[in-house]
Amino acid sequence: MTLRTIDTLGDLAGRRVIVRSDLNVPLMDGVITDDGRIRASLPTWRQLLDAGASLVVIAHLGRPKGKAVPELSLEPVAARMAELLGEPVRFATDTVGDSARQQVGELPVGGVLLLENLRFNPAETSKDEAERLAFARELAAFGDAFVSDGFGVVHRRQASVTELPTLLPSAAGLLIGRELDALSHLLHEPETPYTVVLGGAKVSDKLAVIDNLLPRVEHLLIGGGMVYTFLAARGDAVGKSLVEPDQIEAVRGYLDQAERLGVHLELPVDIVVADRFAADAESRLAPVDGIDATDLGADVMGLDIGPETARQYAQVIRDSRTVFWNGPMGVFEFPAFAQGTATVAQALADCPGYTVIGGGDSAAAARSLGHADDAFGHVSTGGGASLELLEGKALPGLVVLGWEAA
């Protein structure tokens, strides 16, 4: 079986199409700070509108845990959708209640409606399949066909992801198609040298992707909070830096495996350390074997890779033909500890090869540092989904659309 695409749905003129999009954008005081996921959804919406369909867009925002949380309302998203589409976007103040039913009933041909946050309904994320299916049936009543385009949730079993596609003629949207093309390239046909850059807080979040990619790459560059578990596994003192003690043996295994395979597994040579986790913390630059030897006291912790490490990593990236990056190099939200991430992002933008940013914080970091998405080969909208795909897992939200993991 192959992934079903929009053209398998036939003539959509005059039909209502439910589109599951990923609109999980960051908000600050009700203002969207990064609209990348909305922009990534536009091509699918426009294709369906050009085909004469009306759209009932469904999505989630944050983790409200089945309750209506006003600060996680999708209403600001509807306003931004209207700006980007250049046409009105109606908004329902619930998911399958009176507002949604009324708005769907009044939706004109070619109109666009966004329903309220799906996760305000506890059935969306219920572990009980029967509860999810019941909610999916209520959603299915709003449309004649279903397009799944929320790549950021296709690794989850949720009503709008795995049950709804079984109730209507269903297909994958353009965004999911682009994601699969880009990420499959990293598994099956990467040009060499191939470099993977991994950061973020925890090694445990990256174990499976390291397992699957380590035999395929020439370079593995480690940054972020996960660095300190690697350093601890090597025997270095790391002060109060984030360490996962239960992962130290696994990390030692990766260090040994990389050596056997001839993979250049690179760790920092210098670290920016601080006396506490705060934007205004006092900081120092320390060699990697002197993290605990600064004058900042016993509570010192690493919050960014140092400038020499960043320079070395950037050179490897620029010399590569394929690069995958997932996870910031430090606490990029604090300007004092963002330089490592900024240097890596710039190197990816400068790299003449094929570059992929694996969604989540990495994509947000690149945009916050002034890089447009088209500076890179592909910017994924799904951090967890992209990692699980690169781990070789069968993603349930894709399997239901006919996709088979290679």
Q: Which residues are catalytic?
A: 37, 202, 360, 384
- Is 61 known to sit in a ligand binding site? yes
| Rounded-to-integer distance, Cα 320 and Cα 351, Å | 7
Please tell me the distance from the alpha carbon of residue 157 to that of residue 132, in angstroms, as a whole number. 9
321 is in an annotated binding site: no
**What is the rounded distance in angstroms from the CA atom of residue 306 to the CA atom of residue 113?**
48
Q: Is 311 annotated to bind ligand?
A: no
Report the alpha-carbon distance of residue 384 to residue 345 in Å, rounded.
Answer: 20
Check the annotation: does 333 bind a ligand: yes
Would you say 23 is a known binding-site residue?
Answer: yes
62 is in an annotated binding site: yes
Residue 97, annotated as binding a ligand: no
Q: Is 387 annotated as a binding residue?
A: no
Residue 240 tokens, joined: 């109060």
Count Cβ neighbours within 10 Å for each residue of 187-203 and write b for 16 or more, e otherwise: beebeebbbbbbbbbeb
Flag whether 402 is marked binding: no
Q: Is 55 annotated as a binding residue?
A: no
Angstrom distance (rounded) from CA 336 to CA 127: 42
To the question of whether residue 132 is assigned a binding role by annotation, the answer is no
| 377 Cβ contact partners less than 8 Å away, ≥ 6 residues apart | 182, 354, 355, 356
- Inter-residue contact 137 to 123 (CB < 8 Å): no
Q: Does 296 appear as a known binding residue?
A: no
Q: Which DSSP helix (H) or strand (E) runs through 365?
A: helix 360-368
Positions at the binding site for (2R)-3-phosphoglycerate: 37, 119, 156
Q: Which residues are annotated as a binding site for substrate?
A: 22-24, 37, 60-63, 119, 156
Annotated binding site for ATP: 206, 302, 333, 359-362
Q: Which residues are annotated as a binding site?
A: 22-24, 37, 60-63, 119, 156, 206, 302, 333, 359-362
